[in-house]
Chain A
Amino acid sequence: DTAVSQTPKYLVTQMGNDKSIKCEQNLGHDTMYWYKQDSKKFLKIMFSYNNKELIINETVPNRFSPKSPDKAHLNLHINSLELGDSAVYFCASSQRAQSNEKLFFGSGTQLSVL
């Protein structure tokens, strides 16, 4: 009955590869997010989708492409992985895309690029 689930939990891959991280929420929320946590534990938003529509796109390299097939899913595809992409990626959701909404986070995907 996990609210926000993301897979895989760990991902180890070589530079130049293409990989995907999947996220699903069963809360019936309209809005989903991807956050990146760097080695210094700094969390920064990457993307946000509201009802399958992209509403936030931070200055993220276009090697990162989010895809939302429906409002319960937001996947993150990364092309041509680089060493600097190594981080923990968190998916999150909120009921609406409003400023005071509570975010529900997934448990994170630790990506290591070798």
Chain B
Amino acid sequence: AQRVTQPEKLLSVFKGAPVELKCNYSYSGSPELFWYVQYSRQRLQLLLRHISRESIKGFTADLNKGETSFHLKKPFAQEEDSAMYYCALTGRGSTLGRLYFGRGTQLTVWP
């Protein structure tokens, strides 16, 4: 069965420090991984997806199939990065169009 695990419910760092939000997954097929973010008083929105291999707002995430991980990283955190971050997974076949979300990590960046 598919599963997304975000082990940290809360994560706090100081401005300028590196930040890594962990995401591990379990999926028997070929996964597609995403990070969604919800800033305070805003709607949930896509941050990045592994297939695009992009860097958004300084964040990157690499899919590691050996470790079944898709950790989100940023070398220098900013206060405006404070938000709720969700890792999500989907795959081809029966899960087409169905996103499985982790429980989210609330990131707080202190000044």
Contact = CB atoms under 8 A, between A and B. Distances in A.
B98 interface: yes
Contacts of A104: 45
Contact of A108 (B43, B45, B90, B91): B43
B91 A99 contact: yes
B97 to A, nearest CB: 4
A31 B44 contact: no
Nearest to B97: A97
A107 B44 CA distance: 8
Interface string B76-105: 000000001010001110011111110110
B20 interface: no
Contact of B43 (A33, A41, A106): A106
Interface in A72-114: 90, 94, 97-108
Contacts of A99: 32, 90-92, 95-97
Contacts, number: 54
A46 to B, nearest CB: 10
Contact of A41 (B46, B91, B95, B103): B103
B96 A97 contact: yes
Interface of A: 4, 31, 33, 40-45, 48, 50, 55-56, 90, 94, 97-108
12 contacts: A40-B103, A45-B99, A50-B97, A55-B97, A56-B98, A97-B97, A99-B91, A99-B95, A100-B32, A100-B49, A105-B45, A106-B43
